[in-house]
Amino acid sequence: MGTDDTQTAPKTGCRTSAGALRRLVVDPTLASSHLVRPTRRSLTNDSPLLKIRKGSQKIMNIQTSSNTAEIPAYALTQSQIDQYRSCGFIQLDNIISGDQLDSIRNDVVKAVESETQEPSDKSTSGVYGRIFNQKVNLWQRHPNVARITLSRTLANLAMRLEGSRMRIWHDQALFKEPGMGNNKTPWHQDAVYWPHADRWHQTTVWIALSDASTRNGCMSFIEGSHTLGPLPPVDLANPQDLFDSAQHLRPIHPKPTPLKAGSATFHNGLAFHFAGPNKSDATRQAFAIIYMPIGTRYDSQRHIVTDGQGFALDDLLEGALFPIVS
Ligand SMILES: O=C(O)CCC(=O)C(=O)O
């Protein structure tokens, strides 16, 4: 895969302390408005990509299976946990390698291909097709992908970083294709799109299945930005400038995180992040697993993962769709 700058990611702590950011003034109306009625329609039922097989036996079988990927335990240190909590993200190198990486990549690629009706027809992905080929909740339809999504090793990392036992919220393949023009992923926070009453401790592991570089669209983060809390959601199809809601963060340089295949970042659901366009000649292949604390309640905002599943305001998000993994 064409890469130019992998393995140069930060190993140090944040330049911006979480405490300093907490002291910065955020307009409270901006910070809270979307909690009541978010304006952005993300992952709605309109998307042709996102279909959930609700409560099916297939999901139950996968959930009770012990056939999870045996990703080797990762020796996370207290200083890495502190760094994650202060920065809102952390890079963990080589969490998957060798034959296991090849096998996982193969399983995800096969699942994506089998769900991409017309590989050459980018329009099938709707507005998100301009950014990437996104396939959500592959674990529910592809047992081999479930082995990765339900990995105890990854879930335990999520639990230790956020300090909470975790459920799966959803997984997704994010394949950013070449030759699509300026297919950057705009600056955004994740958790503001999710129908969760509490958005502070969700986390995503973003695994590079192929090398990710600044040339093909690796992720970049703003250190400490997660401490600001939820801000108005950005429309990814027609993005506003996230920094309009956080002017004081404009001078802070983003931290690009180029990754070798098999390396990953964890990022908090409120961390500001972005990925550049893919200017290489190969697909940037990433697989993300999103975790939510086990006590997460439904806030009734529309979302493809929960729409039509019978949840009422304040219900616990629990059951076969949201297995406890740590
Ligand atoms: O892969 C990308 O380009 C963006 C991914 C992202 O925003 C996320 O995983 O939260």
The 10s digit of each residue's pLDDT in 99-115 is 999 999 999 999 999 99
Q: What is the pLDDT of residue 262?
A: 98
**Token reading at 92:** 């963990």
- How confident is the model over 312-323, as pLDDT tens digits? 999 999 999 999
Q: Which backbone phi and psi does 208 adopt, to 5 degrees?
A: -75, 115
CA 131 remoteness from chain centre: 15
Cα 122 to Cα 117: distance, rounded to the nearest angstrom: 10
Query: Residues for the chain: how many in total?
Result: 326
CA–CA dist 110, 95 (Å, integer): 21
Structure-token pair, residue 217 = 């669209």
Pocket test for ligand 1, best of 174, 213, 220 (most atoms within 8 A of CB): 174
Exposure on the CB side of residue 292, measured as CA atoms within 13 A: 22
Q: How far is CA 35 from CA 8, 155, 196, 230, 251, in A?
A: 37, 27, 9, 8, 27
Q: What contacts 25, CB < 8 A, 6 or more positions away?
A: none
Distance CA 315, CA 92 (A): 34
Distance in Å, CA 57 to ligand 1 centroid: 30
Residue 255 main-chain phi, psi, to 5 deg: -105, 100
* Residue ranges of the chain with per-residue pLDDT less than 50: 1-12, 16-58, 60-66, 120-125
**Rounded to 5 degrees, what angle do the CA atoms 38, 44, 48 make?**
160
Q: What is the pLDDT of residue 128?
A: 66
What does the radius of gyration of the chain's CA atoms come to, in whole angstroms? 18
CB of 271 shorter than 6 A to ligand 1: no
- Supply the DSSP symbol for 41: -
**Per-residue pLDDT at 66:** 46
286 C-beta closer than 6 A to ligand 1:
yes
Phi, psi for 213 (deg, rounded to 5): -135, 175
Q: Give 277 Cα–ligand 1 centroid separation in angstroms.
A: 12
Mutate to test the pocket of ligand 1, among 175, 210, 219 (most ligand atoms within 8 A of CB): 219
Q: Is 204 close to ligand 1, i.e. is its CB under 6 Å away? A: yes
Q: What is the pLDDT of residue 58?
A: 43
- Which domains occur in the chain, in start order? 80-233+252-326 (2.60.120.620)
d(CA 325, CA 306): 19
- Mutational test site, ligand 1, from 204, 216, 221, max ligand atoms within 8 Å of CB: 204
Give the 3-state secondary structure of residue 201: coil
What SS3 class is residue 148? Answer: helix
The residue whose CA is least distant from atom 1 of ligand 1 is 174
Nearest atom within ligand 1 for CA of residue 288: 9
Atom of ligand 1 nearest to the CA of 290: 9
- Which is nearest to 38 in space by CA: 234, 228, 185? 234
Q: Angle 78-87/152-162 helices, nearest 10 degrees? A: 70
Residue 20 has what pLDDT?
36
273 close to ligand 1 (CB < 6 Angstrom): yes
Going from the Cα of 75 to the center of ligand 1, the distance in angstroms, rounded, reads: 25
pLDDT of 42 = 33
The pLDDT score that the predictor gives to residue 14 is: 65
Provide φ and ψ at 212, rounded to 5°: -115, 130
